[in-house]
Structure 1
Amino acid sequence: MQPTRTVKLVSAALLALGVHAAQANKADNSLNIAFDAAPATLDAYKESDRPGLALARMVFSGLLQKNQDTGEFGPAIATGYKFVDDTTIELPIRKDVKFHDGSLLTIDDVLYTLNLVSSEGYKARFQNQVAWIAKAEKVSDDTVRIKMKTPYPLALEMLSENLPIYPRKYYEASQSDMGAKPIGTGPYRLVESQPGSRYVYERYEDYFGPKPAVQKLVVRVLPDANTQYAELLSGGLDWIWRVPPDVAKRMEKQPAVTVKSSSIMRISYISLNPRFDDGKSPLAKQQVRQAINHAIDREAIRRALVGGASKVINAACNPAQFGCASDVQTYKYDPARAKQLLAQAGYPNGVTLDLVISAPPRAILDAAAAQMAQAGIKLNLVEQQYGTAMTNWRDGKIAMLSSNWGSYGIADAALSTSNFFRGGPDDQARNPEIIKYLETADTTVDRELRAKNYGAAQKIVAEQAYWVPLWNHSLNAVQSKDLNFSVDGDEFPRFYKASWN
């Protein structure tokens, strides 16, 4: 009943405010945005949620910068990079980079940051960002050498924005200060903060890179969605995001705003556990898992309930990721074929299975369950909180799990396929052939070899039907018509790219 109530409230807000044109803040060159939750901290190495990390990327800079359109890595604090060998990267450092307190960045700040956050006792929030670093060393006054523990193909991804450089003196004095009053080298600096409520950023005029077009960012925390919609339509806000598809459709009819749907890295899936109940479950049989794949009309559900820029996926990865194969076995919607496969597996009267829902909306799984019932697959839908569901899945207590995965926004199959099928805690298939392919792909910097091995692993996953890959997500943002801005595919809004038309 709750979704129906929400739609009614939103509709009322639109009817009440739709006649008013949003007053874009072009006059004072500011951008007013809203998030639904406050960041736990403004320290980039301690924060975990997208809004907080997005704000951190306004304040901090990494050694490199990734072009989100081409996938190429270019200069930032470092003027470039060079692989000395498979486990060593050298990066020359710019001499004109200033922190927001006016102090000049030196190689000492770089060495301090990298060695600190990769140390065992630091406990960075995302260990995959830092755990690959063995040591950062000084080559000269303007060149740093990073030694890896083993060949790490995602090193450049991490050096681009995921490893911001901190001022040593400031951070050494009190790390907690960085969580409340961050000082970085990025395009914006924090000038005002009401923790949990409002944050104001101004363009940093001494920024070493191209200056942002927008002078000031005003970030407000508004947990109630309907308040966000009302303020956007009345001109109090210029940009909001994560707008549900039904609301986005209504917003498209409002003349003062534009809906931007961006294809992002996050994907939805259903994991099938062939080892459930000590291998006595119907899921132990390949034909049953294949039948489940044939029993869901993914495109019809995507079109009706997901929409936007989303697309059906076929492999255990996002097609935008390096190493994601396009030539894996696919399963078209075919209830008759699903019934045939169930009969071949010894279940002519069908099967009954529990499906735990941890993330996607219940309505999507209700639709899938109705379709599967036509093929003789009865689902008992069980909703669990994400943390509980993942713990139960990893303990082998769940037969089927529906969830989604964002790969930390990284466009590489190492963060998708390998996460679920390389023998880690999320891997209930534990296929030794797949694990071998993924271990090879994850421990070499040879891109051709990596792609070959990822493809081989993904083909086995698809043939064995260990997954039901559903679709990649799209993210709906609604903004003033005069605003020129889009969220990037890694699910990060980079506000320094925004401008007023």
Structure 2
Amino acid sequence: MWRVSSTLLAGLAALAVTAAQPAMAGKSDDTLNWATDREVAVVDPYYNNTRELVVMGHLGWDALLFRDLDSGEYKPLLATSWTWDGNKKIILELRKGVKFHDGSGFDADDVVYTINHVSNKNNGVLTYKNVKWMKNAEKLGPYKVAINLEKPFPAALAYLSNVVFIVPAGHYDNAPTKPDGKKDYGSVKAVGTGPYKFVEVKAGEYVLWKRNDSYFDGSPKGKPQIGNVKFRTIKEMNTQIAELLTGGLDWIWDVPKDQAERLKSKDSVTVENAKTMRVSYLAFDVDGSSGQDFFTKKKVRMAVAHAINRESITKNLVGPASVVIPSACHPDQFGCAQDVPKWDYDPAKAKKLLAEAGYPNGFEFDIYAYRQREYTEAVIGDLAKVGIKAKLTYLQYRALRDLVWKGKTPINHMTWGSNSIPDVSAITSNFFSGGRDDPAKDPEVIKAIEEGDTSTDPAARKAAYKRALTKISAELYWLPMFTYAKYYVYSKDLDFKTTPDEIPRFYTAKWK
């Protein structure tokens, strides 16, 4: 049986008494109001890698290519055509007549500037794996560029369509200097060519966007319909729901399953559960850098894996679109082998392994998390049943990310959405290539991933990734948990379509 927390009960009680008024506020002033519990201070997809900025990245900027979710095809966006010249160069013809939000014209100089800036490791792009495959860009004409690759990278088009957003030439040149002497590129005012223009941000409270009425004809994104889009930070889900039902918000997601199911009875909102490309995982401190060395022992990691009832968590908390995963990737991603060592739910085996590891009475440790507290609390409950007591430290993403990079977390329960890129290079390669996110730095895994990332033979890529994923699972550097399924709840006045990549495309939304 699952225990219902007092917070959840309070939320359900609040729903019972909240009047289900039509959510007219957004429609009446032509502003789509959406909220999450996460704070946004930096409005730049290169210098803020939260999901909120993934969403805003597609709202305020354009990439060179556009990936059609229905067909999987790549279509022209800022580039009108592209060809490979060998396996380490892409030639692109660029669209004419496009304007940035500051009124300046778009051309080859902007593409060259953007790529040369973000591909330079010294410039501090947060998810550097997204851009480090590019060596540089060169101008071949006013509307023609070449992108030179460091090595063959067969997933290049997926990245050019999803994470390489173009900024104006010179955009970061006047960035202020931080106390540590580094440039604060993330503080530069957002300027793109996208369907919405950045207006203002108040850190920790809101980000406001205004429709770009000059958005170019022929974009596969289409013309934006709603006048304004406002993101708000609202920490408590109960408050988000109350505002949605009384008209202060038009759209929320990550609604807990029980509350979402109850909201289906409200005539003023639509409730949907949709799959995503996000996965949940536990990452172990396998080298003892956190000061708690329990998880340097493989048998302890095995005990944790056998103690957690992942099937029950997906069924009771996450939603019907969620599935348990065996590999350190999403099943829909290219190269995500599923036939790897698996860890079934077996509390008796977990207790036996703990005794063999020298902990017959269990132990206490610190677990860190940043989203969906109830999922981590379920993990903590399962661990307690086998004698492992976990103390939860719950943080904002950026704070937890910094602790992970410093090796200070015995176990971190985190998620990764791969920037919605349907390729293993966007997740497994990010976490197991020897960088600061890699908990193991296993030479065998690093070598296999390098082969998978650079081979132009799809079969060879799959084989290499399978070797890496098999070793990761066998050694339990991670315990992959489940795919995320999100409950979306939004106003009946809003014409909105969910997508399987966890990028709500507000530029396609409209009022009914």
TM-score (normalizing by structure 2): 0.82
* 174-183 or 214-223, larger mean C-alpha shift: 174-183
Contact 1:260–1:478, Cα closer than 8 Å, also in 2: yes
Q: Using the TM superposition, give the Cα deviation of residue 90 of structure 1 relative to its aligned residue in structure 2, in angstroms.
A: 1.0
What is the rounded CA distance, in whole Å, between the counterparts of 2:114 and 2:503 in structure 1?
Answer: 23
3-state DSSP class of the match of 1:166?
Answer: coil
2:324 is equivalent to residue 306 of structure 1 = no
Q: Tell me which amino acid in the other structure corresponds to 2:211.
A: E
Determine the structure 2 residue equivalent to 1:239: 251
Q: Equivalent residue for 1:89? A: 90
Which is worse superposed, 171-180 or 321-330? 171-180
Alpha-carbon displacement from aligned partner over 1:415-458 (angstroms, at most 9, x marks no partner): 32233333333434343322321221123343332221111211
Is structure 2 residue 379 aligned with structure 1 residue 379?
Answer: no
User: Alpha carbons of 1:221 and 1:295: their partners in 2 closer, same or farther (altered >3 Å)?
Assistant: closer
The equivalent residue for 1:446 is 457
1:254: how far off? 0.8
Counterpart of 2:446 in 1: which secondary structure? helix
Deviation at 1:15, TM superposition (A): 1.8
Aligned to 1:77: 78
Q: Which letter maps to 1:106?
A: D
The Cα offsets for residues 247-297 of structure 1, whole Å up to 9 and x where unpaired, read as 323322211101222322332222334444999966555454334322222
Match of 2:210 in 1: 201
| AA of the residue aligned to 1:201 | K
Deviation at 1:487, TM superposition (A): 4.5
Distance, in Å, in 2 between the alignment partners of 1:310 and 1:462 is 20
Distance in 1 between residues matched to 2:16 and 2:445, nearest whole Å: 51
1:299-354 alpha-carbon deviations (Å, 9 max, x no partner): 112222333532211111122222211111222222344455556x4659464352
Q: How far apart, CA to CA, are the structure 1 residues paired with 2:37 and 2:292?
A: 44
Q: Which residue of 1 aligns with 2:182?
A: none
- In structure 1, stretches of 5+ residues that fail to align are none
Alignment CA distance shift 1:199-1:138 (3 Å)? same
2:276 maps to 1:264: yes
Q: In structure 2, what is the equivalent of residue 418 of structure 1? A: 429
CA–CA distance in 1 between the matches of 2:134 and 2:462?
Answer: 24
1:466 aligns with 2:467: no
How far apart are 1:381 and its partner, in Å?
Answer: 3.0
What residue in structure 2 maps to residue 51 of structure 1? 52
Instruction: Single out whichever of 250-259 and 180-189 deviates more from structure 2.
Output: 180-189
Please name the residue that 1:252 is paired with.
Answer: 264
CA distance in 2 between partners of 1:415 and 1:188 (Å): 27
TM-score computed with the length of structure 1 as normaliser: 0.84
Taking the aligned partners of 1:292 and 1:172, their CA distance within structure 2 comes to 46
* 1:82-481 equivalent positions in 2, closer than 5 A: 82-119=83-120, 122-168=123-169, 171=171, 182-190=190-198, 193=200, 195=202, 197=206, 199-208=208-217, 209-210=219-220, 211-212=222-223, 214-223=225-234, 225=236, 226-276=238-288, 283=295, 286-307=298-319, 309-339=321-351, 341=353, 345=356, 349=360, 351-352=362-363, 354-359=365-370, 363-372=374-383, 374=385, 376-383=386-393, 385=395, 399-481=410-492
Taking a change above 3 Å as real, the CA distance of residues 433 and 116 of structure 1, as seen in their structure-2 partners, is closer
Secondary structure of 1:168's aligned partner = coil
For the 8 Å contact 1:287–1:341, the answer to whether it is kept is yes
Task: Pick which of 137-146 and 171-180 moved more.
Answer: 171-180
- Which of 8, 11, 21 pairs up with 2:10? 8
The amino acid of 1:242's aligned partner reads D
Larger Rg: 1
Q: CA RMSD in A?
A: 3.8
Aligned length: 496
Unaligned runs of 5+ in 2: 177-184
Distance 1:280 1:175 in 2: 40
Secondary structure at the counterpart of residue 451 of structure 2 = helix
Kindly indicate whether the alpha-carbon contact (under 8 Å) linking 2:41 and 2:201 is maintained by their aligned counterparts in 1: no
Matched with 1:492 is 503
Contact 1:67 1:74 survives alignment (8 Å) = yes
Cα deviation digits, residues 214-260 of structure 1 (max 9, x gap): 24124153535445333322334322233333432332221110122
1:28–1:289: structure 2 CA closer, same or farther, 3 Å change rule? closer
The alpha-carbon distance between structure 1 residues 253 and 143, as it changes in their structure 2 partners (threshold 3 A), is: same
Q: Tell me the distance in 2 between the aligned counterparts of 1:300 and 1:377.
A: 19
Give the Å deviation of 1:136.
Answer: 1.0
Partners in 2 of 1:175 and 1:277 — Cα distance? Answer: 35
Is the Cα–Cα contact under 8 Å of residues 354 and 381 in structure 1 kept in the other structure? yes
Aligned to 2:464, the other structure's residue is in SS state helix
Structure 2: how far apart are the matches of 1:404 and 1:278?
Answer: 20
Distance 1:155 1:483, change over 3 A: same
Quote the offset at 1:160 in angstroms: 1.6
Identity of aligned residues (%): 35
* Per-residue CA distance 1:191-210 (angstroms, 9 max, x = gap): x5474556241243442315
- Supply the AA of the counterpart residue of 2:339: D
- Quickly say closer, same or farther: Cα 1:203–1:348, change in 2 above 3 A: closer
**In structure 2, distance between residues paired with 1:462 and 1:120:** 30
Shift of 1:76: 0.7
Q: Deviations over 1:105-160 (max 9, x none)?
A: 22222223322333455444443333333221123343210112223344323322
Tell me, in whole angstroms, the C-alpha distance in 1 between the residues paired with 2:483 and 2:140.
43
The 3 A distance-change label for structure 1 pair 116 and 232 is: same
